[in-house]
Amino acid sequence: MSDDFSLKKPAQGGEEGGWALTLADMMTLLLCFFVLLLAIADVDQKKYKDVSDSLASAMGVDVPPKGANDTYEGAPVARRVISDQQRNIFEMQLEMARLVGRESDALKIKMRPDSVAIVLKGGFFFPSGQADLTSGARRVLGKIAPTLAKSPYQVVVEGHSDNIPIRSKQFPSNWELSSARASAVARYLLDNGFSKDRIKVLGMADTAPAYPNEDDNGNAIPANQKRNRRVVLLVYPPKNK
């Protein structure tokens, strides 16, 4: 039989096995992720620092060894790779996520460099063109309001709209509508024990869209307009006095 018809054994580790290596890497990363969540679930400060520094080291970042104070390998140590503020923000995100549970239709939680953003979806929280909280909105806010009230966190409530003009008697423009919606959320927090000294309210109208309201040809993108109708709770760590 000629060489053209001979059976060749696939090379070990070749293209045929590449998917297996990729899958193994993905499973390892997922395992590490869940181990990390489990390790910090009780928000133990010492454990949190140990885990975060280990994670930073695994990603190739220099972390001062335990016990190092002012110098590391003969050079001054300016700061820890992961600051206490970053840890506080991550802990806040975990805390908010535990409180709201599975409420993807109502909100989403994002971690920012200086705060945690709780994005309240306008279609769930308010009737169209109005600023009265729905019963579902009150139910969801009821999950986080007591904890926020007892916390030292600072909160900024931002109201956002799409670019579709509104000219009702109550709301002459999107400025009034976005401000009224943000105020409704802030008022709910205040009525449930949150301190007025730690909250600010901003009406943004359509000046800060999360997604483009229109395409390059100026045509409206309804799905994006819907997502831009929102109230954002920016939760900041307590200020150092």
Pairwise CA distance, residues 215 & 229, whole Å = 17
Measured over the CA atoms of residue 88, residue 35, residue 104 and residue 220, the dihedral's sign is: positive
- Tens-digit pLDDT profile for residues 85-130: 666 777 777 877 887 777 888 999 888 888 889 999 999 999 999 9
Q: How confident is the model at residue 17 (pLDDT cuts 50, 70, 90)?
A: low
End-to-end CA distance of the chain: 86
- Tens-digit pLDDT profile for residues 191-218: 999 999 999 999 999 999 999 999 999 9
pLDDT(241) > 80: no
Domains with residue ranges and CATH for the chain: 19-59 (no CATH), 84-236 (3.30.1330.60)
**3-state secondary structure (DSSP) of residue 142:** helix
pLDDT(65) > 60: no
How many other C-beta atoms are found inside a 10 Å radius of the C-beta of residue 130? 15
| pLDDT value of position 156 | 97
* Percent of the chain residues past pLDDT 90, beyond the cut: 46
In the block, residue with structure tokens 């110098």: 71
